[in-house]
Amino acid sequence: MLKLDGVDTYYGPIHILQKLELEVGSGELVCLLGGNASGKSTTLKTVLGIVKPRSGSVEFDGEDVTGRPTSYRIGKGMAIVPENRRLFAPMSVRENLEMGAYLHGGGTKEDWDRVYTLFPLLHERRAQLAGTLSGGEQQMVAMGRALMSRPKLLLMDEPSMGLAPILVEKNFEIIQQVHESGVAILVVEQNANVSLAIADRGYVLQTGRVVLSGPAAELLRHEDLRKAYLGR
């Protein structure tokens, strides 16, 4: 589904991603772990095409999309739940969802039904301005907005950031639900415990390099990872 091959990304003279190799199989849930400034968000930006790699290639759904603009990749089946959600605050919930399906003419009835079934609360709140929602509700809108475009690959940037522990758990339940419907997911997280619990595989990034990778269950048991992220 997604394959990063020897990707080098720079911000000006600063080398952020160094020969990054990463793969997400079809229908797989992969999580990308790492501390601050390890290059997690840059990886997502490179996948989306907001940042262009200096060398290496990004392959999506059997096609090399390295030189393609973001809108092309979204149209081909990527979708993102951005860090801090980034909703369009002065627009209603409904309008926010519609913007998610911008490239699909605003979404078919099935798209709306799918999202409203997954998040009944959003249907209730559809006329409310997104900026007036609580954090948990905003997270739902951000998820729904991403799902409106019928993605094959869902990218999630720190979905548990700024949420109460009970909402984090609920959030990951929804992620798993979406995953079970056949969507491949790449989750970027600092919260290793929760994300590895539902992931198939995981990668650990450190200063732009993959230092550890493997099945989620193995990573959970791994001595170094436990020391670095789980604190026990």
Contacting residues toward another protein, per CB under 8 A: 48, 50, 70-71, 74-75, 80, 82, 86-91, 95, 98-100, 102-103, 105-106, 121, 128-138, 140, 145, 149, 166-167, 170
Nearer to another protein, 66 or 213 (CB): 66
- SS3 (DSSP) at 179: helix
Q: Distance between CA 65 and CA 132 in Å, rounded?
A: 37
CB of 147 to another protein, least distance (A): 12
Residues sharing a CB contact under 8 Å with residue 188, sequence separation 6 or more, in sequence order: 31, 32, 34, 40, 41, 43, 44, 155, 156, 157, 158
Closest CB to another protein among residues 132, 181:
132
Q: Minimum distance from CB of 187 to another protein (Å)?
A: 16
Distance CA 221, CA 174 (A): 25
> Measured from the CB atom, is 99 or 197 closer to another protein?
99
Give the Cα separation of 174 and 147 in Å (integer).
Answer: 12
CB of 228 to another protein, least distance (A): 30
Least separation in angstroms between residue 165's CB and another protein is 12
Q: Give the angle 216-48-25 at the CA atoms, nearest 5°.
A: 35
Is the CB of 80 or the CB of 184 nearer to another protein? 80
